Amino acid sequence: MSTHAQTTPHLSPMGWFARSEAWLDDKGKGAWIAAMVVSFIVFWPVGLALLAYMIWSKKMICNSRSSCRTSRMNTHRNTGNSAFESYKSETLRRLEEEQENFEAFLQRLRDARDKSEFDQFMDERAKAASAPHEQNEPERA
């Protein structure tokens, strides 16, 4: 048995990829951009793959997944200021009510437009149905 085999951990392909991703995340957007540029220079398909991965994983929006998660969590965090919290909850309630009223208004507009279009269709259909009967009837003098 070799001592080298015991001390060297087995590295899976995803292991190095996950470590590289974590390292680039720690360094920020600049590291991701530099890695992409270097990979385009060395071998363009790798650069293209890295660019696609960066777009797919939204690496250009947030420096790391934890910072994205933290910024989303901070929007719902309680500030501890009771006056501000009551103002915020009242404002959010008012905005939700206005949104519901506006959506109801839009629905009424859509309904009115649909009714108008349907009435117009029915009028045209009635005119078209009565027109051939008038042409077939002989004129009486």
Q: For residue 71, what pLDDT band results from cuts at 50, 70 and 90?
A: very low
Average per-residue pLDDT in the chain? 79
Q: For the residues 9-14, what does the mean pLDDT come to? A: 55
Concatenating the DSSP letter of every residue in 10-24 gives: PPPHHHHHHHHHHHH
Question: How far is 114 from 29, CA to CA, in rounded Å?
Answer: 50
pTM of the model: 0.37
Q: For residue 122, what pLDDT band results from cuts at 50, 70 and 90?
A: very high
Residues 24, 62 contacting (CB under 8 angstroms): no
With b meaning 16 or more CB within 10 Å and e meaning fewer, what string describes 38-73?
ebeeeeeeebeebbeebeeeebeebbbeeeeeeeee
Every domain of the chain and the residues it spans: 1-77, 88-141
Q: What is the pLDDT of residue 36?
A: 87
- Does residue 72 surpass a pLDDT of 50? no
